[in-house]
Structure 1
C-alpha cells in the first residue's frame, strides 16, 4: 500500500485531506509539526509528501528545498498547497513537483497523486 505524508499546521485541513485520501488504498500519515517530518520520512518511506507552504514559523518551500537537496530524499515527490498568496518563482525554486491552491477539488488532488506517486488507475 502506498504511503503519503500530509503536513499542515491547520488541524481542520489536515483532517479533511487525510479523510479524503483514506477513501482510497493509501496509508496516510498526518503531521501537524514540521519538526516531526524528518523522523517520519525514513521510517514510513512515503511515495508522496503533501505539505502546506505556510506552516507557522516554518515555510514548506524551504523544507521542500532541503529535501530535494538531500540525496536521501531527493526522489520524494512533494506537492505544496496554500490558500495564501505566493509567487510561482518561489515554488519553482523550492523544487516542488506540483502546487495546489486551496481550496482544491478532490478530483484535482487525486489527479496529482496519480501522476506523481501512485500506480496508474489506482486513484480515480
Structure 2
C-alpha cells in the first residue's frame, strides 16, 4: 500500500483529505505542524508528501526546498497544497512536483497523486542505485 504524508494546519482539510485518500487505498499519516517533520518522514517513509504552503509554525515552500535539497528525501514527490494564491508568488520555485489550489477538484487531486506515484515508481525501477 502506497503511503502519503499530509501536512496541513487545518483539521477540516486533514479530515476530508484523509477520508478521500483512505477510500482510494492509500495509507495516510497526517500532521498539523512542520516541527519535527524530518523525523516523521524518516519514521513513516512516505511515497508522496502533500503540504500546505502556509502553516501555523512555518512555510511549506521553504520546507519543500529543504526536502528537495536533502539527499535522502529529494526523490519523494511533493505537492504544495494551498488556498494562498498571490500575484507574483511562484510556488513552483520551491521545487515541488505539483501545486494544487484549495478548494480543489477531487478528480484533478486524485489524478495528480496517481501521476506522481506512477512517475516516482518508474524512476525508482530504472534507478541503478535502488
TM-score by length of 2: 0.85
* CA apart distance, 1:39: 1.3
CA shift in 2, pair 1:47/1:84, >3 Å: same
Task: Give the gaps of 5 or more residues in structure 1.
Answer: 120-124
Give runs of ≥4 in structure 1 deviating > 6 Å.
none
Task: Give the gaps of 5 or more residues in structure 2.
Answer: 122-130
TM-score by length of 1: 0.89
For 1:72 and 1:102, locate their aligned partners in 2 and report how far apart those are by CA, in whole Å: 29
**Residue equivalent to 2:37:** 37
**Residue equivalent to 2:64:** 64
**Residue equivalent to 2:105:** 105
Greater Cα shift, 74-83 or 89-98 = 89-98
Between the two proteins, the alignment pairs up a number of residues equal to 120
Q: Would you say the 8 A contact 1:61–1:90 is kept in 2?
A: no
Q: Is residue 93 of structure 1 aligned with residue 55 of structure 2?
A: no
SS in 2 for 1:66: helix
